[in-house]
Structure 1
Amino acid sequence: MYADVPPAHHLVLAQAPTPPASQRLEVPPQPAAEVRSQSLSGTHPMLVIGTPEAAFLWPLATLTPPDTEQMVISAQLAHPAWKKRKPDFSSGSYLLEAATPFELSAVREGSLTRLKVSISKAGAASPEWKDVELQVKSVPWHTQLVPNSASVPRLLYRVFGSPGATFLVHELSGSPDFHHVVQVKFKDRRFTQEELSRGLLVDVEDRPNVKGARLQLGDAPKGSLLEDKPVKFKVERELLFREVEAP
C-alpha cells in the first residue's frame, strides 16, 4: 500500500482510488474466523470539517471490521436549523454518525449517495443536530487497511480542504498508529481546488511516524512535495487526535 512513498522530503500524489482532549480508541479482540464473517455494515463515526456546503468527512477507521476502509468524503450537509446561520465545523471538533447502518464500500463505489446522520461536538452526551441530510459529492481518496501491517516510518499527512481552509490529515498505515487532523496555513503556496481534491501527501521534515512527533498547535515546520520546492506552513488548530492499536 505504501510502495509509492518516496525518500524523505518528497510528496506523493495519491490517485482517488478548539482542540479536543486525547481519546483512546480501544478495539476488542475477536477470533480470526469471526472477523472474516463479520458484516461490514455500521454507523461509521466520522470527523466533520469545513462548512455544510463544502464538508469533508474523515471516517475514524480501525484495524478491525467494519471500519477498515479509510477515506476522505466530500459532501454537502443540510438541516432546517441552518437556514439563518450555518455552522463552521472547523471551529471545533464535530463528529458525525449515520442514523442507520451502511457499508462504506457503497459510498466509495457511488451506489450510496444520500444518508441521514446526526452531528455532535466531541465528548457531548447528545447530538447537537439530528436528521441532517448528507449528500455525497465525491470520494477523492481512499485506501484499505491491512491487518497486522506495520505503520510507515515517516510522518506523512494528506492535504484536503478548500483554498481558504486547508487541513492536514494523518492517515493510518498499521499498528501502532493514530488519527490526527489539523488546520494549517501555508505560508508560500495557495493550493487550487483541483490540487486539494487529489489528497497531496506531505512529508514533514525528518520526523518519525510516532504520536510524540505529530504536528502540534503553533508548529511551523517545513514539508516537501514531489518534484516541487519545499513548503512552509503553520498549525492553527487541532481538530482530532486519537490513538489506534491492533486488537
Structure 2
Amino acid sequence: MTSAQRVAIVTGGSRGMGREIVERLAADGHAVVVNYASNTVEADAAVAAVTAAGGRAVAYQGDVADENAVAELFDVAEREFGGVDVVVNVAGVMPVKPVVDFDLAALDRVLRVNLRGTFVVNQQAARRVRSGGSIVNISSSITRFARPGYAAYAATKGGVEAITLILARELRGRDVTVNTVAPGPIATDLFFEGKDEQLVARIAAEPPMERLGTPADIAEVVAFLAGPARWINGQVLFANGGAI
C-alpha cells in the first residue's frame, strides 16, 4: 500500500501537548497514529476529535522504551496509512525532587521513559521515515533554567538533545531532518502538578510575554519543523516566550 498523504506518529499523543500536536498535524493534512501509555479513553477521544474534523487517525497503546512495542507502532502506521513521514516524541515523565532525596527507582523510570524511550523511537524512525520526512524530539528549557529539583529530568533532556544532533548527522543523504523543541513552562496537567498558585504566578511572570506557554504554542513549532522547515536540521529550538 502506498499513500500520497503524509503520515505522522506522535508518542504521548493522548493528552496535553501531545494531543494538541496530534490535532494540529491532522489539521495540516497528516494521517496520525496516536501512541499512548495507558489512558485509552483519552486516546480514543483524540482519535475521535481528528475524525470529527475530517482527518484520519488511529490509536496505539505501547511503551516507548520497549523496542518490540515501538516496532509494532511503526508497523501500525505502515499498515494503516502506507508509511511514516513525521515522528514526534512527546512521551515523558517529570519527577521533581532534589538530588540528595531523589529515589533511584524514580531515576530509573525517568531514564527509561525519557531517554531510552527517545532513543528507541528515534532508532525505528531512522530505519523507516521516508525521504522528505522529519523527526521532532521534545526536550525542555529546564536544561538552561537549571531549577533545583529538576536534575534527573534535565539530565534526560540533555541526552535527548545530544541524540538529535548526532542522528541528524547520521542521516546524511536521506533528506530527513531531526530537530528538538525545548519548551518552557506549558500550561498542562504535568506542569501544574504539585505547584501552588503563587509558584505558578511567579513562573508565568518570568517571560517577557508574561504568561505560561500553551500546548498550541508548541504545536505550532512542531508543525513548522514537520513541514516547511527543511533547512533547519540538528537544532534545538527553545520555545519559552523569551524567558532565557
Query: Please, what TM-score do these two structures have when normalized by structure 1?
Result: 0.25
Which has the larger helix fraction? 2
Between the two structures, name the one with larger relative contact order (CA 8 Å, sep ≥ 6): 1
Query: Please, what TM-score do these two structures have when normalized by structure 2?
Result: 0.25
